[in-house]
Amino acid sequence: MALLSTLGNYKNTGLLIIRIGLGFMFIMHGYGKLIGGPELWKGVGAAMGNVGITFFPVFWGLLAAITETLGGFLLLIGLAFRPAALFLAFVMLIASIFHLRTQGLMDASHAIELGVVFVGLAFVGPGKYSVDKR
């Protein structure tokens, strides 16, 4: 469609919009977990049991909360973008496995979709409007 054909000229703007939206939302999700304290961290970290890691659930939950908060911030500004995207993809993988085992595909779909987005973003990079500027 000719009307929308010029949008291809704004790929970096599109990446910026994606980064701001996802980054902000992950900061919000992660910060809630981060301030939730050890009891919440234990519950979040227990999801690692689905991949055979049953020790230190508080540590794994804290790590997931930090990854979501800090990873969201790094995504937002475009610094250490690819490692942040891959760490967030891993958190989404664990969340996907947890939801698939406990609730089914429909409840896991959101984590699966975000995991796919983060892997794709790791390949694409942050775009021109980022701290990394690549």
The answer to whether residue 132 sits within a structural domain is no
The answer to whether residue 134 sits within a structural domain is no
Total domains in the chain come to 1
CA dihedral 5, 85, 64, 100 (to 10 degrees): 60
Distance CA 31, CA 104 (A): 26
Tens of pLDDT, residue by residue, the chain (134 residues): 677 888 888 999 999 999 999 999 999 999 999 999 999 999 999 999 999 999 999 999 999 999 999 999 999 999 999 999 999 999 999 999 999 999 989 999 999 999 999 999 999 999 999 998 75
The answer to whether residue 133 sits within a structural domain is no
Can you give the pLDDT at residue 7? 85
Burial code of 23-58, b = ≥16 C-beta within 10 A, e = fewer? beebbeebeebbebeeebbbebbbbbebeeeeeebb
Can you give the pLDDT at residue 39? 97
Cβ atoms of 132 and 79 closer than 8 Å: yes
Residue whose tokens read 């993809």: 89
The answer to whether residue 131 sits within a structural domain is no
The answer to whether residue 130 sits within a structural domain is no
Burial zone of 64 (CB within 10 Å; 0-12 exposed, 13-18 middle, 19+ buried): buried
The answer to whether residue 37 sits within a structural domain is yes
Q: What radius of gyration do the chain's Cα atoms show?
A: 16
Supply the range of the domain harboring residue 62.
11-124
The answer to whether residue 107 sits within a structural domain is yes
CA dihedral 115, 110, 130, 67 (to 10 degrees): -70
pTM, two decimals, is: 0.93
CA dihedral 41, 91, 111, 26 (to 10 degrees): 70
